[in-house]
Amino acid sequence: MNLIPLIKNETIKIIKKKRFYVILLILLVLVPIFTYAQMRQAQNNRQKFEGDWRLELQQAITDNQNSLGSDRVPEEWKKYRRIYIEQMQYYLEHDINPNEPNGVTFTRQFLDNSISLFIPLLVTAVASDIVSGERTSGTIKMLLTRPVRRWKILLSKLIALVMFISLIIVSTVIICYLISGAFFGYGGFNVPVFTGFLLFDSDVDMSTVHAVTSWQYILMQCGLTWFVGVVVGVLAFMVSVLVRSTAASIVTMMAALIAGSILTNMAASWKSAKYLFMVNLQLTNYLSGTPAPIEGMNLPFSLVVLSLWALAALIISFLVFTKQDILN
């Protein structure tokens, strides 16, 4: 039997189960909240600096420089701040506002903040249900008694999942842009953003820094987010194959992801944590030039680690699904 009808079947099941609508609803509720918070902050700053971003940025630089002199600030943080200072000075030097308030900038920042937890959670919401949901409802027996090879069934589910991951990311961007644009204005696609900061410990090499337009930057962010989404999706997919109930499989993935966000904040001294997938999710950091949580991490490293985890998850999923007995 051909794969396409199977994929079609899975796609329609996901739509009919309304998981995707729930995700859209979550976005429609949360994005205005974030936008409002951002707007309040912008208003506050406008009051203090009368809308002059250069004054605001210079004060941020000075405040960070002051904290460098304090003995109570940990060396780790100082490293981040030194890099931040240099980058912000670079923006001032070139007279470009890194945070120009508009829908595009908001979307850019939202993607930066959501790549390691929010988007993976949304992906998990679809992926965790995809096999275990069939078990919970008992439809798995009907599915497996049909004259189709089991691996084909699983593959069709996987492809449908990837399709929905793409849809989730694209709809996140569109919803973000449309809603925040209503508050901050829809322009800003051509505002330059700097990328290509090479980090050596606490030094920044500016020789490869170059400007890209905001839309190019967002396209790159989306691509990286998509990769993260697929990896997380595949892992959730594996859990969904292994675990019987959808709830258990969602909780497993959530625990792993949240553990990852906690670890990134404190793992600097535990070097081998960098081989965990959840520490490597913040791929957009390599784009913006934010230091990685653990020394020795860079984009190729993170991509390899994530790919290996995804590959292992795929192998396990297919082995288990084709071999396991379906009881009850």
Q: Note the residues at the interface with another protein (CB under 8 A).
A: 5-9, 11-13, 15-16, 50, 52, 54-55, 57-59, 61-62, 65-66, 69-71, 89, 92-96, 139, 142-143, 162-164, 166-167, 169-170, 190-192, 194-196, 198, 207-212, 216, 219-227, 283, 286-287, 299-300, 303
Residue 54 CB, shortest distance to another protein, in Å, is 5
Whether the CB-CB separation of 76 and 266 falls below 8 Å is answered with: no
Nearer to another protein, 35 or 197 (CB): 197
Nearest-angstrom CA–CA distance, 78 and 314: 40
Residue 259 CB, shortest distance to another protein, in Å, is 26
| Token couple for 269 | 């001294």
For residue 180, the one-letter residue type is S
Residue 33 CB, shortest distance to another protein, in Å, is 25
Q: What is the DSSP string of 115-178?
A: TTTHHHHHHHHHHTTTTHHHHHHTHHHHHHTSSS-HHHHHHHHHHHHHHHHHHHHHHHHHHHHH
Nearer to another protein, 35 or 297 (CB): 297
Residue where the block lists tokens 């999706």:
233
Nearest-angstrom CA–CA distance, 149 and 144: 8
The residue length of the chain stands at 328
Whether the CB-CB separation of 18 and 165 falls below 8 Å is answered with: no
Nearer to another protein, 64 or 264 (CB): 64
Phi-psi label, residue 259: left if phi above 0, alpha if psi -120 to 50, beta otherwise: alpha
Nearer to another protein, 173 or 235 (CB): 173
Residue 37 CB, shortest distance to another protein, in Å, is 25
| Token couple for 136 | 């919970």
For residue 145, the one-letter residue type is T
Nearer to another protein, 181 or 188 (CB): 188
Nearer to another protein, 94 or 271 (CB): 94
Nearest-angstrom CA–CA distance, 225 and 59: 32
Residue 72 CB, shortest distance to another protein, in Å, is 12
For residue 108, the one-letter residue type is R
Residue 303, helix vs strand vs coil? helix
Nearer to another protein, 85 or 257 (CB): 85
Residue 257 CB, shortest distance to another protein, in Å, is 20
Nearer to another protein, 14 or 263 (CB): 14
Nearest-angstrom CA–CA distance, 162 and 169: 11
Residue 204, helix vs strand vs coil? strand
Whether the CB-CB separation of 165 and 233 falls below 8 Å is answered with: yes
Residue 307 CB, shortest distance to another protein, in Å, is 12
Residue 151 CB, shortest distance to another protein, in Å, is 18
Nearer to another protein, 194 or 309 (CB): 194
Residue 170 CB, shortest distance to another protein, in Å, is 4
Closest CA to 303 of 286, 321, 325, 318: 286
